[in-house]
Amino acid sequence: MKIVSYNVNGIRAAFNKGLAEWLSKENPDLVCFQELKAQEDQIDLITLKSLGYEYCYFHPAEKKGYSGVGIITKIQPDFVKIGMGIEKYDKEGRVIRVDYGNVTIICVYIPSGTTGGLRQVFKMEFLADFSEYIQELRKERKEILICGDYNICHKPIDINHPEKHLTSSGFLPEEREWFDQFVGTGMVDTFREYDQSGEKYTWWSYRAGAKPKNLGWRIDYHMISSEARERVKSATIHNEVCYSDHCPISIEADI
């Protein structure tokens, strides 16, 4: 199965910029979208179904034009669950889960704390609650793939000029410590299994087409539980794709 994760920063805008053509060419089996910024009735389901995505699941935020996640797939899942079961996160459209056999795939959009203050507190609360949610789920579902925008650069290699960002949300010590602990529970960064080189980013603050300088952040991940790591055969960052301030990431996995 080819699985793509993509923060589209507005799915309607991404479609207007050529996202459908890229999906047709790349032909993933399943796509996890973050930051839909749209209600379900505003999403072009006709185009998605014409591309073969017969099964489409969306979790928009209550607030219009904000947040939201979605999973589109050509293969019918065995089970679908919308939300984490925690109202303050679910009202923002942060999590969708689908199951295929023994494998659970989760699409997540972790909150940004870039406005500081209460939103940074909210982000740290989400991280703690999301970890607990995953650990509880792993008691029953050992093989879990978590695709999405984590809004955290885990290590200095994942960000441009790390010394300049030590006090920036997304690279704060407490956020990176959470990531260390998350990896310590047996979650594997699939991209780093294949590529340990620097300047491999997924988000650029100024990105609108061609990027003049590679001053980005790697904040989008496919994290997989150690029990399922052998299923992943490749991991790719598609940094040539410019339909958002992020670029898509993909893996090939035996699912």
Which residue, among 171, 165, 35, 53, has the nearest Cα to 44 in the 3D structure?
Answer: 53
Residue carrying the six token digits 């898509």: 248
pLDDT tens digit string along 140-173?
Answer: 999 999 999 999 999 999 999 999 999 999 999 9
**What local confidence, expressed as pLDDT, does residue 208 receive?**
52
Low-confidence ranges of the chain (pLDDT < 50): 210, 212
CATH number at residue 30: 3.60.10.10
Please name the residues in contact with 70: beta carbons below 8 A apart, sequence gap of 6 or more: 11, 32, 33, 36, 43, 56, 57, 58, 59, 96, 107
Element (H, E) at 55: strand 55-59
**What local confidence, expressed as pLDDT, does residue 207 receive?**
59
The domain in which residue 124 lies consists of: 2-253
Binding site, residues? 7, 35, 149, 151, 245-246
Binding site for Mg(2+), residues? 7, 35, 149, 151, 245-246
Distance separating alpha carbons of residues 60 and 72, to the nearest angstrom: 14
Which residue, among 236, 233, 159, 154, has the nearest Cα to 187 in the 3D structure?
Answer: 154
Q: Is 161 a catalytic residue?
A: no
Give ∠ CA 178-91-224 in degrees, rounded to 5.
40
Distance separating alpha carbons of residues 190 and 224, to the nearest angstrom: 7
SS3 percent helix, strand, coil of the chain, rounded to 5, is: 30, 25, 40
Q: Is 149 a catalytic residue?
A: yes
Catalytic residue from among 53, 57, 133, 149: 149
Helix (H, G, I), strand (E, B) or coil at 108: strand
**pTM of the entire structure?**
0.96
Q: Is 246 a catalytic residue?
A: yes
Catalytic residue from among 6, 109, 221, 243: 109
pLDDT tens digit string along 10-45?
Answer: 999 999 999 999 999 999 999 999 999 999 999 999
What is the number of other CB atoms lying within 10 angstroms of the CB of residue 25?
8
| Number of folded domains that form the chain | 1
- The chain-wide mean pLDDT, for the chain, equals 95
